[in-house]
Amino acid sequence: MKKEITIYDLAEKLNISATTVSRGLQNHPAINKNTKKKIFDLAKELGYQSNKFASNLRKQKTHTIGVIVPRLNSLFMSSVLSGIEKVVNNAGYNLIISQSFEQEEKEKKNALTMFNNRVDALIVSLSYDSSDFSHFNNFINKEIPIIFFDRVTDSLPATKVVIDNFKAGYDATMHLIEQNCKSIMHITGNLTRNVYKDRYEGYRKALADRNIPFSEDLFITNDLSEQEIYNAVTHNILKRKQLPDGLFATNDSAAAYALMLFKEAGLRVPEDIAIVGFNNDFISKVTEPAITTINYPGNEMGENVARILINHLDGEGDLSVTSTVILNSELIVRGSSLKK
């Protein structure tokens, strides 16, 4: 292990104090231009790297932002992260990213890790079934800002960035109705999660607006895993005497998988059953037919989240003011729903 170069080494070599070196490196206005130059030059020459631990310890600030998301493996999530990272990096902050794998237990663990790592702020999209939020109390007590996106909760006093899931659900359903669907199923996740609840309510509202009675029978919630989608389609939908003629699935993977299973069972899409998904993941483009879906502005969402947070941290904005930001989403019509 080679020895580290510290500001003391620089100071000694330049015959000045460590104080001056420290200030010089931070571009402190009181330090002479020439001195600064000498410091920077030597620092570069020796490959000096500031020791963050010493700095953080002293400053009681880490310049690190924690992110907890359910999973990383979707186009949507990686777009969000990409947006967050861009903004946050430009502002000179670091990111620690972790996944809850959709489990409350893991989310709690991650939150604790973040807390121990003294993140300056936390960005969260909740796991599938988190219902107890006590793991965020640490942060709230210490007044460390938390900002939620997409999967949010109203139980905590925190800023939220979301799309209008109600409207998206409404649009998706209305589109199916306009394609002449009479019996529209909806497969979605746990209704305690805002995104699913809101989409569901949009679905109900669209039905109601067109006087189509809602039927419990056409509504399925599960954990959206491959297995559960399989079960829902083969053991439930395909076993019916009266098959539905429309399906609104709450994500594109589910829609794509259902589409495949329908075709395997000999159904025609969209003639026999029209399908709308959600997210505009790449997968929705390569099925046959391609899947009508809701485009979700991941990048924009990420950038918004990060920008609000940075403004707050830099003292230029106030999180408590902007309490909910709603972004636009849009229906993208493709073959899976176009009965023409």
Partner DNA sequence: AATATTATTGCAATCGGTTGCAGTAATTTT
Partner DNA sequence: AAAATTACTGCAACCGATTGCAATAATATT
Q: Does 326 bind a second copy (CB under 8 A)?
A: no
Identify the residue among 57, 112, 208, 326 touching DNA (CB under 7 A): 57
Identify the residue among 21, 83, 115, 167 touching a second copy (CB under 8 A): 115
Question: Could you say which of a second copy, DNA, none residue 241 binds, taking C-beta under 5 to 8 angstroms by partner kind?
Answer: none
User: 248 vs 228, 256, 270, CA distance in Å?
Assistant: 16, 11, 12
Question: Could you say which of a second copy, DNA, none residue 22 binds, taking C-beta under 5 to 8 angstroms by partner kind?
Answer: DNA
Q: Does 295 bind a second copy (CB under 8 A)?
A: no
Q: Does 46 bind DNA (CB under 7 A)?
A: no
User: Nearer to DNA by C-beta: 25 or 238?
Assistant: 25
Q: Does 253 bind a second copy (CB under 8 A)?
A: yes
Q: Which stretch binds DNA (CB under 7 A): 21-29, 65-73, 95-103, 310-318?
A: 21-29
Q: Which residue has the tokens 């007590």?
A: 141
Contacting a second copy within 173-232 (CB under 8 A): 226
DSSP three-state, residue 105: helix
Q: How many other β-carbons are positioned within 10 Å of the β-carbon of residue 231?
A: 14
Question: Could you say which of DNA, a second copy, none residue 325 binds, taking C-beta under 5 to 8 angstroms by partner kind?
Answer: none
In the sheet that holds 324-327, the strands lie side by side as 94-99, 64-69, 121-124, 146-149, 159-163, 324-327
Question: Could you say which of DNA, a second copy, none residue 259 binds, taking C-beta under 5 to 8 angstroms by partner kind?
Answer: a second copy
Least CB distance to DNA at residue 165 (A)? 42
Count the alpha carbons within 13 Å of 77 in the hemisphere toward its beta carbon.
20
- For residue 340 the two structure tokens come to 């023409």
How far is the C-alpha of 222 from the C-alpha of 153, rounded, in Å? 20
The C-alpha angle with vertex 43 and arms to 42 and 49, in degrees rounded to 5, equals 165
The C-alpha angle with vertex 193 and arms to 323 and 211, in degrees rounded to 5, equals 100
CB 338 within 8 A of CB 292: yes
Least CB distance to a second copy at residue 5 (A)? 11
Contact set with a second copy (CB under 8 A): 1-2, 47, 49-54, 56-57, 62, 71-75, 77-78, 81-82, 85, 89, 94-99, 101, 109, 113, 115-118, 138, 141-143, 226, 253, 256-257, 259-260, 263, 282-283, 285-288, 290
